[in-house]
C-alpha cells in the first residue's frame, strides 16, 4: 500500500490489508452518494468546534473553502474516489487534508466515523422522505384527475373477485388515494424520528471536548439530538421504519398493479394503458403487455426483501456499533430508488389510462349487483333482514335460470318472491339508483365521490 493510500488508522497495524479484504470491506462504491450530506455534516461540525473554541477561525475558514472546492469537484464528476480509502468519509477527509493541510486533520476532532455515518444516513434519508412524500402527492393528484372524469362511471365492485355491488370508477380510484394518503403520513411520522442528531456520540461514549450538540442540530435542521450515545451510533430502527413504510406503499401500488393487469385483459376489457407504458411480444404480433404494472408487482417483493434484510441485520447486534451496519446502505438506497421510480412512472401512467364504461356496465349486469339493494328495499317495507335475504336469494336463483338480470324481471315475477314488492322497485334495481342510494360520507354516490375529490384537492393544496 502506498503512503498516499495509508489508512487513517494504519499506525496500529504492522502489515497492510489484503486486496481481497480491502474490496470486501470497502463501501465507497455505494456510500459516495452521501457525499453532499457528508460535507454538510462536516461543515456544521467544524462550525460547532469553532464556536466552543476547539477550532480556530483560520482553520474553519480553510475547511469551508476546501469543502467548497471538493463539493464542486463531486458535482462536476471530477472527484477521484479511492477504494484504498474505504468509504465516502475517508475519501473526502483525505482530499481535504491534501488541499488545506493540518486544518483538514483537525476536522475529525470530537467525532467518530460511527456518529458521522449515522448523521449522514439521517440527513440523506430526511431528504429522500421529503421527495417521496411529494411524489406520493403527485400520484394522488393523477388518481384524483381520473376519479373526477369518472365520478359517475359505473363499474362492478368485487369481493372474492366476484361481482358484489355497483360502485363508480371514481370511487374505486379514491380508495387508492386514501391508501397513499396514509402512506405519506407514515413517511412524515417516520421523518420525526429520523430527524434526531447522532453527531456528538463519537465512537460510542461521547467525547471529552466541550461540544455543543444542540448548536450542531440547529445548523443541520434537526429537531433534536439522540439522547444516548450508545443508541445514537448503533441502532438503525429509523431506517427499518422508513423501509417498512416504503414496503407498505409498494404493497398498495402492487394491489393497483394487479387490478390494472386484470382490467386490461380481454376477459375484462375495462381499461387500456397508453402504449408508452406497454411492450409487445417477440413472437406474437397481437400482444400488448402491461409491463409496468407487472414489474411494479415484482419490485414490491424486492422492497419487502429489503425490509426483512434490515430487520435481520439488526436482530443479533450487541451494543454499540458493528461493521454489520455497513450493510444497511445498499438496501436503503435501493428502496429509495425503487419507490421513487415507481411513484414517478405511476403518476404519469395513470394519466394515460383510458376507461371503457361500456365494458364495465356489461360486467356489472352479469353478477346481480343490485341484489343487496332489493334486500334493503324489502327491509324498509318491514320484512326482517334475514327473511329479505332469503327472498332475494331465491329471486337471484330464478333470474340466473332465466338468464336475466334482476332488473329485467317482470313485476309479477318479483312479487312471487315477496308480496311487499311494488312498482317502485324499478328505481331500486337500476345501477344509477343503487349508486345514488349510497349517499353518505364514504359512499359511492357520485355526489359523494365528487365531495371526496374536492376534499383531497384541498388537502393536497395545503
Please list the pLDDT of the chain residue by residue as tens digits (462 residues).
344 444 555 666 677 777 888 788 789 999 999 999 999 999 999 999 999 999 999 999 999 999 999 999 999 999 999 999 999 999 999 999 999 999 999 999 999 999 999 999 999 999 999 999 999 999 999 999 999 999 999 999 999 999 999 999 999 999 999 999 999 999 999 999 999 999 999 999 999 999 999 999 999 999 999 999 999 999 999 999 999 999 999 999 999 999 999 999 999 999 999 999 998 888 888 889 999 999 999 999 999 999 999 999 999 999 999 999 999 999 999 999 999 999 999 999 999 999 999 999 999 988 899 999 999 999 999 999 999 999 999 999 999 999 999 999 999 999 999 999 999 999 999 999 999 999 999 999 999 999 999 999 999 999
DSSP reduced 3-state for 272: strand
CB 115 within 8 A of CB 199: yes
Q: Phi then psi for 87, rounded to 5 degrees?
A: -145, 175
Q: CA 204, CA 9: separation in Å to the nearest integer?
A: 17
Catalytic residue among 56, 68, 265, 281: 281
Catalytic residue among 2, 18, 160, 282: 160
Q: Any catalytic annotation for residue 407? A: no
Element (H, E) at 426: helix 425-428
Q: Any catalytic annotation for residue 160? A: yes
Please name the residues in contact with 275: beta carbons below 8 A apart, sequence gap of 6 or more: 288
Query: Domain map of the chain by residue range?
Result: 3-109, 114-150+169-360, 363-461
What fold does the segment set 114-150+169-360 form as a domain?
Answer: Fumarase C; Chain A, domain 2 (1.20.200)
The three cell numbers locating residue 383:
320484512
Q: CA 189, CA 183: separation in Å to the nearest integer?
A: 10
What's the longest Cα–Cα distance across the chain? 100
Q: What does DSSP assign to residue 17? A: P
DSSP reduced 3-state for 10: helix
DSSP reduced 3-state for 354: strand
Do domains 3-109 and 363-461 share one topology? The answer is no
The three cell numbers locating residue 360:
364495465
**Per CATH, is 363-461 categorized as 1.10.40.30?**
yes
- CATH number corresponding to 3-109: 1.10.275.10
Amino acid at each position: 500500500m502506498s503512503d498516499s493510500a495509508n489508512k487513517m488508522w494504519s499506525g496500529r497495524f504492522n502489515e497492510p490489508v489484503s486486496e481481497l479484504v480491502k474490496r470486501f470491506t470497502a463501501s465507497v462504491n455505494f456510500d459516495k452518494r452521501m457525499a453532499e450530506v457528508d460535507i454538510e455534516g462536516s461543515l456544521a461540525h467544524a462550525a460547532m468546534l469553532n464556536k466552543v473554541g476547539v477550532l480556530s477561525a483560520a482553520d474553519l475558514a480553510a475547511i469551508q473553502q476546501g469543502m467548497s472546492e471538493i463539493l464542486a469537484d463531486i458535482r462536476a464528476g471530477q472527484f477521484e474516489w479511492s477504494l484504498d480509502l474505504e468509504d465516502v468519509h475517508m475519501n473526502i477527509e483525505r482530499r481535504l487534508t491534501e488541499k488545506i493541510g493540518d486544518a483538514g486533520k483537525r476536522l475529525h476532532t470530537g467525532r467518530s466515523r460511527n456518529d458521522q455515518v449515522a448523521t449522514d444516513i439521517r440527513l440523506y434519508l430526511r431528504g429522500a422522505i421529503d421527495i417521496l412524500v411529494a411524489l406520493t402527492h403527485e400520484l394522488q393528484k393523477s388518481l384524483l384527475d381520473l376519479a373526477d372524469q369518472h365520478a359517475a362511471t359505473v363499474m362492478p365492485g368485487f369481493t372474492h373477485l366476484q361481482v358484489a355491488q355497483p360502485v363508480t370508477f371514481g370511487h374505486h380510484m379514491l380508495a387508492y388515494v386514501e391508501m397513499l394518503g396514509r402512506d405519506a403520513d407514515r413517511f412524515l411520522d417516520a421523518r420525526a424520528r429520523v430527524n434526531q442528531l447522532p453527531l456528538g456520540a463519537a465512537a460510542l461514549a461521547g467525547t471529552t471536548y466541550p461540544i455543543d450538540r444542540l448548536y450542531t442540530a440547529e445548523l443541520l435542521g434537526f429537531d433534536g439530538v439522540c439522547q444516548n450515545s450508545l443508541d445514537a451510533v448503533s441502532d438503525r430502527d429509523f431506517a427499518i421504519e422508513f423501509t417498512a413504510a416504503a414496503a407498505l406503499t409498494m404493497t398498495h401500488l402492487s394491489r393497483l398493479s394487479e387490478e390494472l393487469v386484470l382490467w386490461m385483459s380481454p376477459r375484462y376489457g375495462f381499461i387500456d394503458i397508453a402504449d408508452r407504458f406497454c411492450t409487445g411480444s417477440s413472437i406474437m404480433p397481437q400482444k400488448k403487455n402491461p409491463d409496468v404494472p407487472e414489474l411494479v408487482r415484482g419490485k414490491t417483493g424486492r422492497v419487502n426483501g429489503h425490509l426483512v434484510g434490515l430487520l435481520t441485520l439488526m436482530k443479533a447486534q450487541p451494543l454499540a456499533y458493528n461493521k454489520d451496519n455497513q450493510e444497511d446502505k445498499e438496501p436503503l438506497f435501493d428502496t429509495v430508488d425503487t419507490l421513487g421510480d415507481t411513484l414517478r412512472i405511476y403518476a404519469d401512467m395513470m394519466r394515460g389510462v383510458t376507461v371503457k364504461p361500456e365494458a364495465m356496465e356489461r360486467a356489472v349486469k352479469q353478477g346481480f349487483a343490485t341484489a343487496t339493494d332489493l334486500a334493503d328495499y324489502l327491509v324498509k317495507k318491514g320484512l326482517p333482514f334475514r327473511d329479505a335475504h332469503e327472498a332475494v336469494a331465491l329471486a337471484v336463483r330464478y333470474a340466473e335460470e332465466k338468464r336475466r338480470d334482476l332488473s329485467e324481471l317482470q313485476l309479477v315475477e318479483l312479487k312471487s318472491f315477496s308480496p311487499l314488492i311494488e312498482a317502485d322497485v324499478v328505481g331500486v334495481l337500476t345501477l344509477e339508483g343503487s349508486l345514488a342510494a349510497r349517499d353518505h360520507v364514504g359512499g359511492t354516490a357520485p355526489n359523494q365521490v365528487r365531495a371526496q375529490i374536492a376534499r383531497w384537492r384541498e388537502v393536497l393544496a395545503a
